[in-house]
Structure 1
Amino acid sequence: MAGWMWLRCVLGPHLQRIHRSPEQSRTDGRAGRRGWSYQPRTLEKHTDSILGWASALWSLSYYSSPLLLCYLYRKGYICSSKLVPVSQYLGTVLVCLLGVACLRGWGRWKNLEYLQFISILEATKKNHTPENKKRVRCYDFDFSYWPFDFSWTEVNNPKLSKAGVSLLKPEPRLRGAADSVLNSVRTLPCQIISFLVAHSFGRRMLYPGSVGLLQKAMRPMLQQGQARLIEEFDGQRNKLVACDGNEIDTMFVDRRRDGGETGQTLVICCEGNAGFYEVGCMNTPLEGGYSVLGWNHPGFGGSTGVPFPQNEANAMDVVIQFAIHRLGFQLSDIVIYAWSIGGFTASWAVMSYPEIQSLVLDASFDDLLPLALKVMPDSWRPLVQYTVRQYMNLNNAEQLLKGPEDVMSNRGNDLLLKLLQFRYPKIMTDEGIRVVRQWLGSFNHLEEASVYSGYEVDDDWCVSVLQSYQAERDVLFPWSVGEDMTLEGRRQLALFLARKYMRNFETTHCTPLPASEFHSPWRL
């Protein structure tokens, strides 16, 4: 038995912290000590440091292997006479590292805190009882060892398969058979370059939070943020398995038992391209008293995979299914809140689940392509267009319609205009678009109010017109309201709807939204 436990210590995960929730602090009388960092003993500490350096050197060698192999080949080191000594040397190194790992296991075996942790982890893997899960959540450790809490296979959804959820695809251009073949041959070099760009620096530029070096630099901050969510808000960490096999790291804070009305609503947060639930936009709805479910993009934090659109949508789907089938929320109780690039998964969610209560987009955009073209050289335009549409098609506005210093350059404004044009085409004629653009071009709240009052918008009249139309027809969007209306009436309705659909909050892009500015969307 002792030998088996020692082996578990050798193969076990790296332990970071022992959490203590508010409930535990009350029951054991240690309210002043919510949690503490795990303190390895001397032997474990030094052996862990050696293995850490070995892992870093291996990663460096792996990524630099093409250049390293070329250098060794030019120097004549790649030959049978010299490969044998090298292999013998590498074998010796591996044996030494194995010995170091065994010593680290010995050091862990002598540490009562680690022994208690590994015993709880093994018990949880064998028996997924609520009590075991509650005990294992008191520890912060390598998430790859975390037991599964929910899988897409638990949901009987005939539309879902390992191929993934459905995404909107760009419409193909119609061509003749011969022309299509010739065009494919002609564009083959561009396709190859596009694939390499998307799967190398392109994806990392779009989602810098997936870069391991950045995550390593942010690790202390992420651990501190996670400890705060667990120890101050009694957050529950869960591992979800998406249909593509990616493991999604989530954090749930339940406010339903607090008795407040906002606590009955679940806000699912979709982070930005360098955001993590540990330090991201979860704080805004938390301060507002809502129940909150945060999750990390594939390749971010504890989540596995890479954040391409298909993987992102697959992750969003399993998060929603988890909220419904395991946490017990109805779709009508769920609000999707997204910051920046998180608008893609948020708009996909409301397109795929139209019963969702509402959507809040913070500093998002309508389409990635205009932003990508803006920062890339003009000579790269065909390559950028193909790469974005083929591999990174973040078409927020298109999904939303299905279910800089100049304020007018804000892509969020284009998102608003496209949505209003789709829902109210008779109101959002050329004149309606013009007055809304004038309102969007205001530089402050006073100028906004001046534009609004200048067109003498009567809010009560606008509400009555829309309510009458809804009562008489009760149809889905788009609405034909405004087709028999005067130009002045259409202007009023256009400005009224624009102000109801969008709120302007003056800040920089990376500033979190204050809880006072987080509101449930307007309902007629």
Structure 2
Amino acid sequence: MSFLNYVFGPNLYMEYRGVPEPQRKMYEAGAVEKFGEQILSTLSVMWSVGYYTSPLLVTFLYRRGYLVTDSMPTLAKITTSVGLIVIISLVMRGLGRKQSRSYSNMIKALVRAKATKAPGDANSELRRFDIEFNAWPVDFDVKALTGDTKKPVVTARRREPIQLATLPCEAIAYLAIKTFGLSMIYPGSVKLVQKFMRPMLISGRAKLIEDDNGIRYKVKTIDSNEIDTLFIDNRNDNVGNGKTLVICSEGNAGFYEVGIMGTPVALKYSVLGWNHPGFAGSTGTPYPHQDKNAIDAVVQFAINNLGFAVEDIILYGWSIGGFSTLYAASVYPEVKGVVLDATFDDVLYLAVPRMPAALAGIVKVAIRNYCNLNNAELANEFNGPISFIRRTEDEIIAEDNHIDTNRGNFLVLSVLKHRYPNIFGASQLNKAKGLLSKPLEPYSIPAADEKLCMSRLITYASDEGKSFPMNIGADYSEEVRNLMAVFLLRKHLRDYNSTHCTQLPGEFFTMPWDIPTEQGFVFT
């Protein structure tokens, strides 16, 4: 084993599965490795600070005369000294790692896994270790698929040519989204946040792997990002829900290690979690086009590598993860269903109120050009079963916890209006808004009325198919439209008395309602 493998190898966080009790064993570096690593970390921080303050630093050195010809030998000596310190620190780190049995076993497993260049079980030895994920071999590369011309590469959204009059606004919007804007929309992509959460992520990942037999995979997207995923296979549980795969898309500060996977896992579904580009082990940046390519690669991985049929997949999204979920649903309309929890209709209507009113125009340009998360548009491209869960105490997608301002209300009504335009007229939409202005009571539509509503839907769908928009209701009276509107609203939406970030109880995770007909689903 080359000494350089130890010097430049990845950080080791934990060793588990098959090691002596206790199984979850955090890796502790020895004194030599720790000392070398601390020096390298300090120099790295100093380099980062110097890089970002380089204009000021160069000005300071120039004024002090350090950049003149006479001072060059001194600067050369300083550079040589720093280089020597780096070399000594690297050697110390390598020596310390080589003395560690755990690190030696890991680096040997990593070298063997890379040599095999094969996914899955070929990396089983390496799966005993939790390491810096950039060193993990790729398990599935979507570009290796052949013959799939159905889904084009998703690229950045094309914008209209910039007009001279709007150039200042466009420039400010571009700088804003590139500097702090995207970090505000996706705080989980901020490295400082990830560093703070690292112990929780390592612990959560270990729990999923050891308690639930999870397997971690690296999935490579069409735009060459590497996505960190974890799969829990419950297909051998013949009495549970294991034949159905739930693909979980997390929120803007959520990670699969500590996120929404827990709900379907507890219900014994097979579950596939993933982290957005730029989150934890995933590379890239969570711009919409990169996020779309990421979820597409994850679904392709589930189909082509894990062996699930599209019809056996439920797409589950929480909060901003609803965007990823709805995009996947628009590309894979045959999925079993879509479950959206605490999801909004359009991120623009969340961003504008949180910024000074004078900046509203810039915010709109930044969102529409660079981060256009319009869930309402995507939802109307999906023809299958869909359900919504609204948090009655939501403090994130509602203004001052006022339930009538919850952006989930607008998403639900947009979908229902699109799917049943003759039922949801102005009067019915106002009635629905009134119902949504307060927590919904437990479902209590009289049995006779429910039977009548269901009968109308089944008869129409059996004759005309279930493609949307559905023209049912054109000849209904106002009273019947009102009844049908309330029925459909209650069938699609459930209230959960909770704030935005609480784990969803299993009783709320159910198959989305669908019109029961004997005919197959019609896609248009």
Q: State the shift of 1:160 in Å.
A: 4.9
Instruction: Check conservation: 1:457, 1:496, Cα contact below 8 A.
Output: no
Map 1:9-88 to 2 at 5 A.
Answer: 9-20=6-17, 24=18, 32-88=21-77
How far apart, CA to CA, are the structure 2 residues paired with 1:33 and 1:58?
Answer: 39
Match for residue 412 of structure 1 among 408, 425, 444:
408
Q: State the shift of 1:208 in Å.
A: 0.7
How far apart, CA to CA, are the structure 1 residues paired with 2:478 and 2:417?
Answer: 16
How far apart, CA to CA, are the structure 1 residues paired with 2:55 and 2:318?
Answer: 38
Closer, same or farther: CA 191–88 of 1 in aligned 2, 3 Å:
farther
- Residue identity over aligned pairs, in percent, reads 41
Q: State the shift of 1:457 in Å.
A: 7.6
* Counterpart in the other structure of 1:307: 286
Match for residue 142 of structure 1 among 101, 119, 132:
132
**Match of 2:138, SS?**
coil
Match for residue 91 of structure 1 among 47, 68, 80:
80
* Counterpart in the other structure of 1:5: 2
Q: State the shift of 1:432 in Å.
A: 1.3
Is the counterpart of residue 113 in structure 1 residue 102 in structure 2? yes
* Counterpart in the other structure of 1:379: 358
Give the letter aligned to residue 57 of structure 2.
L
Closer, same or farther: CA 192–410 of 1 in aligned 2, 3 Å:
same
Instruction: Check conservation: 2:157, 2:369, Cα contact below 8 A.
Output: no
Is the counterpart of residue 501 in structure 1 residue 480 in structure 2? no
How far apart, CA to CA, are the structure 2 residues paired with 1:402 and 1:420?
Answer: 13
Give CA deviations for 1:171-211 in whole Å, capped at 9, x if unaligned.
x6xxxxxxx7xx71121222221111111100111111111
How far apart, CA to CA, are the structure 2 residues paired with 1:500 and 1:475?
Answer: 16
Match for residue 272 of structure 1 among 235, 251, 256:
251
How far apart, CA to CA, are the structure 1 residues paired with 2:191 and 2:172?
Answer: 24
Q: State the shift of 1:49 in Å.
A: 2.0
TM-score, scaled relative to structure 1: 0.90
Instruction: Check conservation: 1:457, 1:495, Cα contact below 8 A.
Output: no
Q: State the shift of 1:73 in Å.
A: 4.4
* Counterpart in the other structure of 1:515: 506
Closer, same or farther: CA 186–138 of 1 in aligned 2, 3 Å:
same
How far apart, CA to CA, are the structure 2 residues paired with 1:95 and 1:160?
Answer: 51
Size of the aligned set, in residue pairs, is 496
Match for residue 417 of structure 2 among 417, 421, 425:
421
Give CA deviations for 1:296-323 in whole Å, capped at 9, x if unaligned.
1111001111110011001011000000
Give the letter aligned to residue 14 of structure 1.
N
Closer, same or farther: CA 277–96 of 1 in aligned 2, 3 Å:
same
Instruction: Check conservation: 2:30, 2:96, Cα contact below 8 A.
Output: yes
Give the letter aligned to residue 469 of structure 2.
P
Closer, same or farther: CA 389–74 of 1 in aligned 2, 3 Å:
farther
Closer, same or farther: CA 212–191 of 1 in aligned 2, 3 Å:
same
* Counterpart in the other structure of 1:177: none
Give CA deviations for 1:194-249 in whole Å, capped at 9, x if unaligned.
11111110011111111111111111111111111111111111111111111111
Closer, same or farther: CA 520–79 of 1 in aligned 2, 3 Å:
farther
Give the letter aligned to residue 460 of structure 1.
K
Structure 1 segments of 4+ aligned residues over 6 angstroms from their partners: 166-170
My pick for the range that moved more, 146-155 or 77-86, is: 77-86
Give the letter aligned to residue 482 of structure 1.
G
Closer, same or farther: CA 66–358 of 1 in aligned 2, 3 Å:
farther
How far apart, CA to CA, are the structure 1 residues paired with 2:82 and 2:198?
Answer: 29
How far apart, CA to CA, are the structure 2 residues paired with 1:459 and 1:304?
Answer: 49
How far apart, CA to CA, are the structure 2 residues paired with 1:11 and 1:110?
Answer: 15
Gaps (5+ residues) in structure 1? 173-179
Closer, same or farther: CA 496–72 of 1 in aligned 2, 3 Å:
farther
How far apart, CA to CA, are the structure 2 residues paired with 1:473 and 1:522?
Answer: 19
My pick for the range that moved more, 60-69 or 349-358, is: 60-69
How far apart, CA to CA, are the structure 1 residues paired with 2:60 and 2:201?
Answer: 39
Give the letter aligned to residue 144 of structure 2.
E
Match for residue 365 of structure 1 among 335, 344, 352:
344
TM-score, scaled relative to structure 2: 0.90
Q: State the shift of 1:132 in Å.
A: 3.4
Q: State the shift of 1:277 in Å.
A: 0.6
Closer, same or farther: CA 457–387 of 1 in aligned 2, 3 Å:
farther
* Counterpart in the other structure of 1:202: 181
